[in-house]
């Protein structure tokens, strides 16, 4: 079983063989040969490895990340690709580390200077933070809490199609938490706003970091309590109740949305869920 041990302080050992996740925005640099995708090592880009951030160790293999300079041109055999495109091209563990790298590099780039006084910030030993040496303001990687919920009614589930997705796919409802709002309050509000449905018996399911919104997706299940489905027409294009035997196109297994759906399908059909 793959094991990732996160860390802040780089170990005292050579970085030549370490995986080096080099990013720019939401893109990641990869090696590609004969259809196989791999992550570059520190030996390939020693000039970037020296100042890279330590992420942790994946099955004992050190992982680092660093931003790509603006004038960087990918050498032959490498390419800069959207991180989302690496799903199923990288194994799930490396894909997750790539997502972590995106967030850490963005934090490092955006907080090189203090947002209060403009002074250059400094890295803080022992934690993932930058701090202003003048007014001591700390800056941490941004994490935006969001809820995701599967609403059920008997042996059917409420799935919706987001109007912004380039391909038609139905998924669970989700939304970001407002300031001063609990996760449970967010569940009820988002479902009401997006599909005009009231819910009850809100229960925690699990969580998943999601780098493409710099968010932590907190999963819930909830039961239908009332209301006729009526989409908001903005975020949600259409929504309906679906039985496990007649599902539309749904998210891939990597996502917590799919875990929620699979768990409900397994419960309805009386078999163990697949992860």
Residues making up the annotated binding site for substrate are 84, 127, 140, 257
Q: Where does residue 65 rank: exposed (0-12), middle (13-18), buried (19+ CB within 10 A)?
A: buried
Q: Pick out the residues of the known binding site for a divalent metal cation.
A: 174, 190, 194, 235
Strands (E), the chain: 4-6, 19-24, 27-33, 36-38, 53-58, 61-67, 78-82, 122-123, 130-131, 138-139, 144-153, 156-162, 170-171, 173-176, 198-210, 215-226, 236-242
Integer CA distances (angstroms), 212 to 70, 84, 106, 165, in order: 21, 8, 12, 14
The pairing of strands 19-24 and 27-33 is: antiparallel
Q: Pick out the residues of the known binding site for Zn(2+).
A: 114, 117, 132
Closest to 160 (Cα-Cα) out of 146, 175, 149, 171: 171
Q: Pick out the residues of the known binding site.
A: 84, 114, 117, 127, 132, 140, 174, 190, 194, 235, 257
Rounded CA separation 15/248 (Å) = 46
CA 80 remoteness from chain centre? 19
Closest to 254 (Cα-Cα) out of 113, 35, 86, 39: 86
Rounded CA separation 154/177 (Å) = 28
Rounded CA separation 273/253 (Å) = 12
């Amino acid at each position: 079983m793959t094991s990732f041990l996160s860390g802040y302080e780089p170990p005292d050992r050579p970085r030549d063989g370490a995986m080096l996740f080099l990013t720019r925005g939401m893109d990641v640099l990869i090696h590609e040969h004969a259809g196989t995708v791999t992550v570059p090592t520190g030996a390939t880009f020693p000039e970037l490895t020296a100042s890279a951030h330590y992420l942790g160790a994946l099955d004992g293999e050190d992982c680092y990340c660093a931003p790509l300079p603006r004038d960087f041109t990918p050498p032959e055999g490498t390419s800069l690709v959207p991180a989302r495109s690496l799903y199923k091209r990288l194994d799930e563990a490396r894909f997750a580390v790539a997502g972590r790298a995106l967030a850490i590099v963005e934090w490092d780039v955006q907080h090189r200077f203090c947002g209060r006084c403009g002074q250059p910030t400094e890295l803080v030993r022992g934690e993932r933070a930058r701090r202003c040496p003048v007014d001591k303001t700390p800056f941490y990687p941004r994490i935006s809490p969001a809820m995701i919920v599967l609403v059920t009614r008997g042996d059917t589930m409420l799935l919706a199609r987001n109007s912004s997705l380039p391909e038609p796919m139905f998924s669970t409802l989700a939304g970001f938490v407002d300031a001063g709002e609990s996760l449970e309050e967010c569940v009820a509000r988002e479902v009401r706003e997006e599909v005009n449905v009231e819910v009850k018996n809100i229960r925690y399911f699990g969580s998943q970091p999601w780098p493409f919104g710099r968010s932590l997706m907190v999963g819930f299940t909830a039961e239908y309590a009332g209301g006729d489905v009526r989409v908001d027409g903005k975020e949600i294009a259409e929504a309906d109740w679906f039985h496990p035997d007649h599902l539309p196109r749904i998210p891939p297994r990597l996502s917590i949305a799919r875990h929620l759906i699979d768990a409900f399908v397994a419960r309805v059909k009386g078999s163990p869920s697949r992860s």
